[in-house]
Amino acid sequence: MQARWNGAVIASSDDIVMVEGNAYFPAASLDPACIQPSEHRSVCGWKGEAHYYNVVVNGAVNANAVWFYPEPKDAAAAIRGRVAFWKGVQVT
């Protein structure tokens, strides 16, 4: 699978975990040139605290378009070390 935004592939992997309709890619599959840390956080009752990255491609910024759980709860252990996308990032 690939994750694309603004004409660029920001992640690519065959090792995908599907949770709640979202494709979780290995964090190592992210193109480091296309992401920057975000201070944004949110909480999911069964997965834990989500952290975010901004996607940056050709000077355009898609704020908080990548999320991950650095310390997921036990029920979500399968997504440890993985990232997912939203906010217009196309996953195919």
- CATH number listed for the domain at residues 2-91: 2.170.150.40
This prediction's pTM: 0.96
pLDDT digits 0-9 by tens, 40-67: 999 999 999 999 999 999 999 999 999 9
Handedness of CA 87, 71, 29, 36 (dihedral sign): positive
What CA–CA distance (Å, rounded) separates 78 from 57? 29
What are the Cα distances from residue 36, in Å, to 9, 46, 57, 74? 15, 26, 11, 27
Paired strand residues for 51 = 41, 68
Dihedrals phi, psi of 21, to nearest 5 degrees: 80, 5
pLDDT given for residue 45 in this prediction: 95
What CA–CA distance (Å, rounded) separates 50 from 70? 7
